[in-house]
Structure 1
């Protein structure tokens, strides 16, 4: 096999061989040593052998051979005194002879911590047997530059071999993220939860959050070789989760919340206080005018006003935002991503601690808007603890609302062609089968005029609410700001501003209304249809075909 092809093959197998080694040893340092041996043995074999019937099987046969040899060495070593690898370097035997003889396993580990360019030059020179002029031609460098890199690499390696490499905190105690989400529009590759799905990417993002780091510094913080994170860093930078700064440093470009018991309790008390203000000075007025809402012609499942308010209150709550309170615009934080996404990313570090309240009750996901301009259809939805829906924004599909609109209009026949659409509407409980026929289980406005009347009937917030909103924003900002790096302050402000209209405060409002007995928890068969409103925006529509109020 020619060298260019062997280089490509070995690049593909670096990570699988490391995974194999880690599985065998369960220790990072030993895995890196063993993976280095395997990689070298495979590479040398590739250069000697022209063809392989089953390359993958052949590679892992070599891996098993190297593993067996490694175990044998371990057993032998346990029966006799050994000179530690680092002692070899303390003698004046010559750096070149040491590296060529492969007597220093720790040395090969340190090579992995060189910069990408220096590592490539060292490997080509010492392991590939290439001349300086050949390396220079292959890498598009001058001979003097190659010599300089070799000199600097040898100096760095000698220094590191006489010191103990310190493992960063994340290598000893890695973090785990939860509540990975976004504000804006995800792309075709998903959102934050997709790009930070692995532990290594989460820890890379966190390592460069408080301080810009080079790939080498990130690797040291995580306690692993740069070889295994270079591609990950490149991908995160490519899709806007890391920014590359001068000096080959990277800085995380998202908001990472680090919760604590004291902060969580303080925020809980704050949200309870301001949810009570929101109910007392705004939402309680929705109940005595329930009949006015009905008179707009809005469709209410079963004619139950309680179900209407379960949707209308969180819908109206998003309007408790005030332009004069906005300090950071979408343009300041939303990132245009390569896959078509345009959103600000956020995540929370998973910290284990007890709090005095039930976190699950205050769950909120939204606001999720689904539109079809062609069909003049708009739908709004939020997920709460009471709605019991699963899947979040990924399972909130425009096609479901389009299907339901066609059912309402009587132009989606119940036949084999449409069986999947009907099955999904029933599974989502957007559509119920009753004794008298099918019934829509969400609030909807049958035409443009109905939607306009419903919006007009929603009360306007008072000046008291406006004043409270400004105070809440500042209080949330100050609580969330503690411990955040300076470059992330705009994110903290962005997520704290207009908190009165946030999903969090609306969850607290719903909880307060339930505790007061003003809202009744819906029956189980109604729950998945709440906190949803569909607007059919055509000029006029006939009477709904389905049953309901």
Structure 2
């Protein structure tokens, strides 16, 4: 029982993604997900020796989906999934027929997510019936490279067909963009106003992604991303990682960071403030004895006046000490357009 629960928890998101990719409807996806989970609970997984758990879960998902279609035939005949019924009513192998059909449908969709090179190879091979040798001559690359791209594309596509997390709908974000330094244009080469560029930076913030990963995640054809990525690379807002991956080159403050920041301030501000206060209070008499103008002012007023100055002086001295000891320089990054600035970015509130 514990094993089944842990598996359901691990695969819950993938199961829902599978269900949503088949039904394209939130209500039906939830209904199908529940039926899949019931099948998993009835399957006595703990008693089986399963080598490939992903494949096993997928078979359960597909089997349940087939039964779900049959059971809800009258509803689905009037929907966009009516074609699925025709496949199920035939005497052919259901899974093999469905996968063949789905491969063709998915291939058309996947082509728009491919990088320029792989997109051209796929179109020429599958739709223009060109051989790998002919493609290699047209593109000026070895035929072995063409065959590698085709194999890789088929492998990637098979993985996408099996409970792909990209099936989950992506929720676009908006960023608040600013800068520290100087810029040639307040729009920062489109970063401040272009929501597509902002979302590219957002999803590449924590993990380096290929252009195909970016396209699938955003649900946008790769051809519309290529010039955006070039602009971001030109300004060093994106950096290239390895041969074909991209990662955001500035930090984006999100809700998790802001909450952690508030938590840190809440837990540490008072203890640190007390140290400053006690240190200043212990030497206040000596300060007053210098006879400065206003030295006879109320002690609390003097503490209130001197405390911010003390904190500021300590921070500046500590900053200079670190800079000198480490041999660091506090300068803004130089951008290819001639400007020099840091990017300041944070996730905009959903209501903002």
Q: TM-score range by the shorter chain?
A: 0.5 to 0.7
> Cα offset for 1:243?
0.9
- Of 234, 237, 260 in structure 2, the residue corresponding to residue 238 of structure 1 is 234
* Residue matched to 1:249: 245
Tell me, in whole angstroms, the C-alpha distance in 1 between the residues paired with 2:198 and 2:343: 13
- Of 298, 316, 322 in structure 2, the residue corresponding to residue 321 of structure 1 is 316
| Cα deviation 1:167-219 (Å, max 9, x = unaligned) | 388x53333222x2222221x34465842422222222122222222222233
- 1:519-530 matches, within 5 Å, as none
Instruction: Name stretches of at least 5 consecutive residues in structure 1 with no aligned partner.
Output: 1-28, 31-75, 290-312, 354-549
- Of 174, 179, 182 in structure 1, the residue corresponding to residue 179 of structure 2 is 182
* Residue matched to 1:349: 347
Tell me, in whole angstroms, the C-alpha distance in 2 between the residues paired with 1:82 and 1:168: 20
> Cα offset for 1:94?
11
* Residue matched to 1:153: 153
3-state SS of the aligned residue for 1:348? strand
Alignment partner of 1:138 is 2:138: yes
* Residue matched to 2:212: 216
> Cα offset for 1:261?
4.2
> Cα offset for 1:147?
3.0
Q: 1:125 to 1:233 in 2, by over 3 A?
A: same
> Cα offset for 1:122?
0.7
3-state SS of the aligned residue for 2:125? helix
Alignment partner of 1:202 is 2:203: no
Q: 1:318 to 1:114 in 2, by over 3 A?
A: farther
| Cα deviation 1:225-252 (Å, max 9, x = unaligned) | 4343233222211210111011422221
- 1:142-541 matches, within 5 Å, as 142-161=142-161, 163-167=162-166, 171-178=169-176, 180-186=177-183, 188-190=184-186, 192=188, 194-258=190-254, 259-261=257-259, 263-264=261-262, 266-267=264-265, 321-322=316-317, 323-326=320-323, 329-330=328-329, 334-351=332-349
Compute the TM-score of the two structures, normalised by the length of structure 2: 0.52
Compute the TM-score of the two structures, normalised by the length of structure 1: 0.36
Higher normalized helix content (fraction of residues): 2
Q: 1:195 to 1:78 in 2, by over 3 A?
A: closer
Q: CA contact under 8 A between 2:107 and 2:157: conserved in structure 1?
A: yes
3-state SS of the aligned residue for 2:84? coil
Q: CA contact under 8 A between 2:114 and 2:211: conserved in structure 1?
A: no
Q: CA contact under 8 A between 2:201 and 2:238: conserved in structure 1?
A: yes
3-state SS of the aligned residue for 2:163? coil
* Residue matched to 1:444: none
3-state SS of the aligned residue for 1:141? coil
- 1:43-54 matches, within 5 Å, as none
Tell me, in whole angstroms, the C-alpha distance in 1 between the residues paired with 2:214 and 2:248: 12
